[in-house]
Amino acid sequence: MRPHGFVVLASLGVMACVIGGNLDYLRAGSAPGVHVEIRTVRGRAAAGELLTVDSTGLLVLGPSKELVRVPLAVADLVEPQRGGPVWVRLPEASALRDLDQMRLMSRFPQGVSGDLLGKLLEAYGQDSVRVVRR
């Protein structure tokens, strides 16, 4: 390799380490989550942007900017809209793996803390999250 080629390659490597190693400019939750439709045995429970998925349920921001929580105990079918409809039937054994994949497609894959939930409720003018019952 020619000496100037090595210098250019080394410079690019150093720049990649300096720029690539600094993720401060990325904010968690800055990209929208996948759109989902959630159904219970009795019909449609909620639809909207998937904010987070945890071990107890799904948090969705509905089209009217209402925060809706659908407990896994009442959810029957979940349809993410990215890449075409794929229904997740709960509580099948594969559903937990599918829900984990959906968590990664949500706006807050790391979860929603109490503080963040308070800020979301304030931002959308709600006193509490509407919880879907059977």
User: Is residue 108 a contact partner of residue 28, using CB atoms and an 8 Å limit?
Assistant: yes
Q: Which residues contact 77 (CB under 8 A, 6 or more apart)?
A: 38, 39, 87, 88, 89, 90
Q: Which residues contact 17 (CB under 8 A, 6 or more apart)?
A: none
Rounded to an integer, what distance in angstroms lies between the CA atom of residue 49 and that of residue 129? Answer: 15
Domain of residue 62, CATH code = 2.30.30.100
pLDDT at residue 33, as a whole number: 76
Question: Of 52, 105, 118, which Cα lies nearest the Cα of 129?
Answer: 118
pLDDT digits (tens, 9 = 90+) for 75-104: 776 776 655 445 555 555 456 677 778 788
Inform me whether the pLDDT recorded for 123 exceeds 60.
yes
| 117 residue type, one letter | L
- pTM assigned to the model: 0.68
Tell me how many domains the chain contains.
Answer: 1
Structural domain range at position 84: 35-131
Rounded to an integer, what distance in angstroms lies between the CA atom of residue 123 and that of residue 134? Answer: 28
Calculate mean pLDDT across residues 4-9: 66
pLDDT at residue 16, as a whole number: 58
Rounded to an integer, what distance in angstroms lies between the CA atom of residue 58 and that of residue 36? Answer: 10
Q: Which residues contact 54 (CB under 8 A, 6 or more apart)?
A: 103, 111
pLDDT at residue 17, as a whole number: 60
Is 4 part of a structural domain of the chain? Answer: no
Is 64 part of a structural domain of the chain? Answer: yes
Mean pLDDT, rounded, of the chain: 75
Out of 22-26, 45-49, 63-67, 75-79, the most confident range is 63-67
Is 125 part of a structural domain of the chain? Answer: yes
Based on C-alpha coordinates, what's the Rg of the chain?
Answer: 20
